[in-house]
Amino acid sequence: MDHSYFKERISGYYDNNLPPYEQQSVEEHLKICEECQKLLAQFEKLDKLVEEKSQLSDTEYWEKSAQKIENAIGVDDSKVVDVSHKSYKGLFWKISAVAASVAILTFIGINQADIAPEAELKINQPPEVQVEKQRDVDNEKVVTEKTKELVETGKDTTSVQPTDNLPEKEKPIQKITLDTVVKKNEAGKGVVEKKLSVVAKSPRPMAVQSQNEEIQIEDEPKIELLSEQLEETIVQPASEPVTISKTSKSAQQFFADRLASTDKESKDNLDYLRKRKDSLRMIYTSYSQTVSKKLKASRSKSASESKIFNDSLRALTEKSLLDAYYKIGLNSDSDIEKSETIRFFENYISRKESFHNELARKYLDKFNK
């Protein structure tokens, strides 16, 4: 083969792209041909030169270019608001509205004394009108109202406390809040009270009529009613017997009924308790058989946290189940149910995992008696 044949293949040889037999023959030729050796060396130099000189400089251009592409795909859509397309069609109306507002305010300012001499006072110094109410607990019905001061002293009258010289009927009301509290009056009797605070947002006059035990709102203002405060406060039973005042006899009856209901259940309630007992029993059984075993087997932190959570649920379930069994056993005429109750209590007490062994024991003792 002549020299030109090999010369044309030096490039392919350099790129290791020749078939094996050609690769070998070029290699053999290179050993004896200086010109081809120089050519191969030139290719190597060119390769380095290309690599070096074709590199593009690190300049600000690349960051700007990247940002341009990012803008095209909307990377900053959420941050940048393009207002260029907005027209100024509404500008006339905006200017008109501002001008009109200024004119009205100026007019009011000039004629302030003639228009509403007291309105300013109402805005600057809104009187605090607070009305407290007592509620019939059974019927959830407002029956009386008292001012805060009078409730504290236990007097059964109604009044409104002004904080400035305005007539009573022109006091603006800003909001109404209603709180339920139990207090002792002078006679030492417990009184269930609902505190109603009425304060208006609007400077418009509103009349609060506090005639005896009713409240009427005339000329309805914008009233902000804090509904969450309408919820009854949960009152824990006092250690000493609480006597309900004469103004809430039905409340007294309510508590009496509640106390009586702990031991005596109507037939309907008994049926309900049986269903409740069955449901709780299923949950209790599933907890006892599966969940606790799995949790005992696991030692991980999350399993430990789950165990605490599940134990809380188990404790609640067991307490409810014990209550249900106790009430059923106590009120049922069936001997089977009574014996079932005793069996359940005995089994429950014997279990080490039970949360309320003491309670079960008390129930069992009481039941046996």
Residues that bind another protein (CB under 8 A): 8, 10-12, 15, 17, 42-43, 45-47, 49-57, 59-63, 65-66, 68-70, 72-75
Q: Cα 193 vs. chain centroid, distance in angstroms?
A: 29
Sign of CA dihedral 322, 325, 331, 335: negative
Give me the least distance between CB of 13 and another protein, in Å please.
10
57/165 with CB nearer another protein = 57
42/111 with CB nearer another protein = 42
37/161 with CB nearer another protein = 37
Give me the least distance between CB of 38 and another protein, in Å please.
11
Give me the least distance between CB of 9 and another protein, in Å please.
8
76/218 with CB nearer another protein = 76
Give me the least distance between CB of 25 and another protein, in Å please.
15
Q: How far is CA 72 from CA 14, 62, 66, 68, 81, in A?
A: 43, 15, 10, 6, 14
Nearest-Å Rg of the Cα atoms of the chain is 45
DSSP result, 228-271 = GGGSPPPPPPPSSPPPBPGGGHHHHHHHHHHHHTTT---HHHHH
Give me the least distance between CB of 32 and another protein, in Å please.
21
Give me the least distance between CB of 72 and another protein, in Å please.
5
Tokens at 367, concatenated: 């039941």
Residue 122, number of CB atoms within 10 A of its CB = 20
16/300 with CB nearer another protein = 16
DSSP result, 5-49 = HHHHHHHHHHTT-S-HHHHHHHHHHHHH-HHHHHHHHHHHHHHHH
The identity of residue 196, as a single letter, is L
Range 228-240 burial, b when 16+ CB lie within 10 A, else e: ebeeeeeeeeeee
Helix (H), strand (E) counts: the chain: 14, 7
Coil, strand or helix at 273:
helix
User: In this structure, what DSSP letter does residue 288 have?
Assistant: I
Which residues 6+ apart lie within 8 Å of 220 measured at CB?
206
Give me the least distance between CB of 181 and another protein, in Å please.
54
54/289 with CB nearer another protein = 54
Q: Are residues 133 and 145 in contact, defined by beta-carbon separation less than 8 angstroms?
A: yes
32/56 with CB nearer another protein = 56
Give me the least distance between CB of 6 and another protein, in Å please.
12
Q: State phi, psi for 70 to the nearest 5 degrees.
A: -60, -40
63/257 with CB nearer another protein = 63
51/228 with CB nearer another protein = 51
Give me the least distance between CB of 63 and another protein, in Å please.
8
6/363 with CB nearer another protein = 6
Which residue do the tokens 């932190």 mark? 301
Give me the least distance between CB of 203 and another protein, in Å please.
51
